[in-house]
Amino acid sequence: MSDNHLALTGATIGAGGAIMVGLADRHVPAERLPSLIEGLSSGDAGPAVAAVTTAPPADDLGDHRAWIDACYAGTDLGVIIGRLTAHPAPEARAAAEEIAGKSPTSLAVTLRSLRTAARLSGLRAALAQEYRLSAALLRLPDLAEGIRAQIIDKDRRPRWSPVPPNLVDDLFRRS
């Protein structure tokens, strides 16, 4: 469920978190990149990568895994926000506040996209779905409202225009 937390809040992670959620396989510190390049140019990739791989630095994501997994289970965004709000961990309540400020339409599409991508045939199909959904979201009013609130007026108070659930269904039928 850590991927749901990252997608819905926009939280950032370090190398350990990236490995934990499957975005990376190994940690190679920047200062070891020249050695990696040298090893790759002179032989097999496996031993070259193994020679420069280190344990990733500690990451907060792993420390919060228990409440993240408990709160983000399921497909109902309202239930997820309710769990986050009710959880005793201050980080869970902060996540609920962060999510509450985002476009309801974008949140619904994001959560559903995560669920459907897991059932797609592979990366190519997931990226194609992501592209089609992103293009469709560009045509909805929340993009302009988010830009207005953050960049133009800088009031940081977007007035979202949530779309009906059947429109979200339509976005996925087309993608």
Q: pLDDT at residue 175 above 60?
A: no
- pLDDT bracket for residue 165 (50, 70, 90): confident
Spatial distance between the Cα atoms of 55 and 14, rounded to a whole number of angstroms = 12
Residues in a beta bridge with 54: 27
Q: Would you say residue 50 has pLDDT above 70?
A: yes
Place of tokens 């997994």: 69
Q: State which H helix or E strand residue 100 sits in.
A: helix 90-100
Picking from 158, 151, 114, the residue whose alpha carbon sits closest to that of residue 133 is 114
How far, in whole angstroms, is CA 87 from its chain's centroid? 21
Q: Answer for the pair 121, 136: CB distance below 8 angstroms, yes or no.
A: no
- Grade residue 172 by pLDDT with cuts at 50, 70 and 90: confident
Give the DSSP H or E segment for 78.
Answer: helix 77-86
Q: Count of CB atoms within 10 A of residue 67's CB?
A: 19
Average pLDDT, the chain: 92
Q: What is the pTM of this model?
A: 0.82
Mean pLDDT across the stretch 20-37? Answer: 94
